[in-house]
Structure 1
């Protein structure tokens, strides 16, 4: 019997958070501005969401669209304010102009997180060399997951990469959990589960009414049931 899969749902506010938890989400990714693929939410939102639900909440550290770090000192300052508001898990990921992991920026931000758990997000899917990125980041404190579709184009294209990386679990750079998201559909789940992948991330799939509508507890529950059955 394989262990229960983790279901992470994107939330924009407390309404989303409460619905996601009611539907069976294990964790939230809290962001704002999905038109820019998810930026850092306000401290007010973080505090409200932490008060409204009791599942873990990973808060996005990303100040502008794209994968460059931008103002690193502002990122560090923002992370400090978020921690004061109750954030204790994060999502981040920065690439340099060559498509390599911006190790200086990542290390500077992670140092300010003081051991908090964090996910390196889908910047990995834009990296010039995924393997090199993983090995470059290996050993950073708190890094426990990669949010990835296996390809910038989504899970349909990235499925072979995801399956190959799952086989390497335990190797240096591959100890972190694979959190699959980005064009993920229910029909992808059986192959991913059979490969040992046990963490899944949904955004639009939790919102049948589109991004202008709130998270649907029923839609989340459908994913919860599918993951439990896979």
Structure 2
């Protein structure tokens, strides 16, 4: 059985690294440290130019939960149009209501905006109060796949739920395990769940090429601004080999 490996990236630098290492699809993000946010328009356009494999843009306007205001949803619809006009292959979407059930109105609007593109529903499913009802809704609306850890912190801890999801959706929607996937556990996750695709970042850091550095001034979370997140080709290649 052939297994497709999706790699999430948050820089254009990582895209050719991931596809050369064996990725079959890219999830295009910014800010992987916060779980992945929407890429800029320029980043989307350049990714479409560079990629030789399908690229799906995550549509997530902010970090945190998946309860979105009407303004958030308007932003997400605009970002879907941006991804479409950039020439990307698909989008990765998700939204929940306050009670933890899928926000059907928001998701329907996003599906409509993405007409003609591939659609993945992201890990909002893992925060959903009725995940199997959500799967039925997504299948009935033509969503291609769901990225999920099986409601657990890591995919290898959610194997039993992932297996249930695969059995429920067989032939109608693909279940793509993700979160904590590595060369060490990818084969087990695929074998025990029956999934046919898997998702990971395989990220590492490289040192900045700056020769002048002011280490006192830092942006964001206070860590060094001179450690650059990038895809590690060895992790992707090792995962490919583990799944053969």
Q: Fold-level match, TM-score > 0.5? A: yes
**Superposed counterparts of 1:5-24, under 5 Å:** 5-24=3-22
SS state of the match for residue 29, structure 1? strand
Aligned pair 1:147/2:143, yes or no? no
Q: Tell me how far apart the structure 2 counterparts of residues 86 and 161 of structure 1 sit (CA, whole Å).
A: 35
Identify which range, 192-201 or 40-49, moves more after superposition: 192-201
Specify the alignment match of 2:106 in structure 1: 105
- The number of residues matched between the two structures is 220
Aligned pair 1:54/2:52, yes or no? yes
Aligned pair 1:68/2:67, yes or no? yes
Shift of 1:39: 0.8
Query: Which has the greater radius of gyration?
Result: 2
Q: Map Cα deviations across residues 60-111 of structure 1 (whole Å, 9 max, x no partner).
A: 1110122123322221122112211112301011111011000100001111
CA 1:191–1:216: 2 relative to 1, 3 Å = closer
Shift of 1:217: 1.8
Specify the alignment match of 1:81 in structure 2: 82
Identify which range, 54-63 or 209-218, moves more after superposition: 209-218
Shift of 1:123: 0.6
Answer 1 or 2: higher relative contact order, Cα 8 Å, separation at least 6: 1
SS state of the match for residue 168, structure 1? helix
CA 1:191–1:46: 2 relative to 1, 3 Å = same
Specify the alignment match of 1:217 in structure 2: 233
Specify the alignment match of 1:185 in structure 2: 182
Shift of 1:150: 0.3
Q: Is the 8 A contact 1:186 1:226 kept in 2?
A: yes
Q: Map Cα deviations across residues 17-73 of structure 1 (whole Å, 9 max, x no partner).
A: 000011010000000112321111011001111111210001011101221233222
CA RMSD after TM alignment: 1.8
Q: Tell me how far apart the structure 1 counterparts of residues 187 and 34 of structure 2 sit (CA, whole Å).
A: 31
Q: Is the 8 A contact 1:149 1:184 kept in 2?
A: no
Unaligned runs of 5+ residues in structure 1 are none
Shift of 1:154: 1.6
- TM-score normalized with structure 2 length: 0.84
- TM-score normalized with structure 1 length: 0.89
Q: Is the 8 A contact 1:163 1:192 kept in 2?
A: no
Task: List 4+ stretches of structure 1 deviating above 4 A.
Answer: none
Q: Is the 8 A contact 1:13 1:49 kept in 2?
A: no
